[in-house]
Amino acid sequence: MAHHLKYFAITLMLLVALSFTLEQQAHAYVDPGSGLLIFQGISAVFSGALFYFRRRIRNLFVRNPKGIPSPAAHPERSLTSGRSAL
Give 27-86 as a 3 state SS string: CCCCCCHHHHHHHHHHHHHHHHHHHHCHHHHHHHHCCCCCCCCCCCCCHHHHHHCCCCCC
Angle separating helix axes 54-61 and 33-52, nearest 10 degrees: 70
Residue of 79, 77, 58 whose CA lies nearest to 68: 77
Residue 49's pLDDT is 92
Return the pLDDT at 47.
Answer: 94
Q: Residue-wise pLDDT tens for the chain (86 aa)? A: 778 888 999 999 999 999 888 888 878 777 878 888 989 999 999 999 999 888 888 887 887 666 666 665 555 655 555 555 55
The model scores a pTM over 0.75: no
